[in-house]
Chains A and B, each alone.
Chain A
Amino acid sequence: MKNSLTIAGKELAGYFLQPVAYVVMTVFLLLGGFFFFALLRYFEVTLTAYSAMQNPEVLQRLNLNERVIEPMLHNLAIVLVILVPAITMRSFAEEKRTGTYELLLTAPIRTGEIVAGKFIAAACFMLIMIGLAGMFPLILVAFGNPEVGVMFSGYLGLAWLAISFVSIGLFTSSLTQNQIIAAISCFGLLLLLFVISWPTQGGGGSLVDLVRYLSLPDHFAQMVTGIIDTRDIVYFLSLIFVALFLTQRSVESARWR
Chain B
Amino acid sequence: MIEVKNLTKAYGNFVAVKDVSFKAENGSILGFLGPNGAGKTTTMRIITGYMPATAGTVLIDGLDIFSQSLEARRKIGYLPESPPLYPDMRVEAYLKFVAKLRGVPRGKIESALEHVLEVCGLADMSHRICGQLSKGYRQRVGLAQALIHDPPVLVLDEPTIGLDPRQIHEIRGLIHHLAGNRTVVLSTHILPEVSQICDKVVIIADGRVVLEEYLKKLPAGTSLEDIFLNAITKERHDDAASAEETLEEVGAGHT
Shortest distance between the CB of A146 and any CB in chain B (Å) = 41
A209 to B119, CA, bound (A): 65
**Interface size (A, Cβ < 8 Å)?**
26
Q: Is the CB of A17 within 8 A of B103?
A: no
Shortest distance between the CB of B216 and any CB in chain A (Å) = 32
Q: Is the CB of B50 within 8 A of A102?
A: yes
Does A206 touch B at the CB level, under 8 Å?
A: no
Chain B 56-90, CB within 8 Å of chain A: the 1/0 string? Answer: 00000000001001110110101011111111110
Q: Which residue from A2, A102, A108, A257 sits with its C-beta under 8 Å from B80?
A: A102
Within 8 A of B (CB), among A230-257: 254-257
A99 to B83, CA, bound (A): 8
Chain A 10-29, CB within 8 Å of chain B: the 1/0 string? Answer: 10011001100000000000
Using CB atoms, name the residue of chain B closest to A13. Answer: B93
Given A102-B50, A102-B84, A14 and B89 contact (CB-CB distance below 8 Å): yes
Q: Is the CB of B82 within 8 A of A108?
A: no
Within 8 A of B (CB), among A19-64: none
Q: Is the CB of A106 within 8 A of B52?
A: no
Does B176 touch A at the CB level, under 8 Å?
A: no
Shortest distance between the CB of A250 and any CB in chain B (Å) = 15
Shortest distance between the CB of B52 and any CB in chain A (Å) = 5
Q: Is the CB of A255 within 8 A of B80?
A: no
Within 8 A of B (CB), among A97-132: 98-110
A47 to B71, CA, bound (A): 69
Residues of A contacting B145 in the complex (Cβ-Cβ under 8 angstroms): 103
Q: Is the CB of A108 within 8 A of B73?
A: yes
Residues of A contacting B115 in the complex (Cβ-Cβ under 8 angstroms): none
Shortest distance between the CB of A180 and any CB in chain B (Å) = 19
Does A75 touch B at the CB level, under 8 Å?
A: no
A10 to B92, CA, bound (A): 13
Shortest distance between the CB of B215 and any CB in chain A (Å) = 28
Within 8 A of A (CB), among B158-190: none
Q: Which residue from B54, B78, B93 sits with its C-beta under 8 Å from A106?
A: B78
A103 to B50, CA, bound (A): 9
Using CB atoms, name the residue of chain B closest to A17. Answer: B88
Does A200 touch B at the CB level, under 8 Å?
A: no
Residues of A contacting B103 in the complex (Cβ-Cβ under 8 angstroms): 108
Interface residues of A (CB under 8 A from B): 2-3, 6-7, 10, 13-14, 17-18, 98-110, 254-257
Interface residues of B (CB under 8 A from A): 45, 48-54, 66, 69-71, 73-74, 76, 78, 80-89, 93, 97-98, 100-103, 145
- 13 extra A-B contacts, CB within 8 A, seeds A102-B45, A103-B101, A107-B101: A6-B101, A13-B93, A14-B88, A98-B85, A101-B84, A102-B78, A102-B84, A103-B78, A106-B78, A108-B70, A108-B101, A254-B51, A257-B53
A sample of 27 inter-chain contacts (CB < 8 A) reads A2-B100, A3-B101, A6-B97, A6-B101, A14-B89, A17-B88, A98-B84, A98-B85, A98-B86, A98-B87, A99-B84, A100-B84, A100-B86, A101-B84, A102-B45, A102-B84, A103-B101, A105-B50, A108-B73, A108-B102, A108-B103, A109-B101, A110-B70, A255-B69, A256-B52, A257-B52, A257-B66
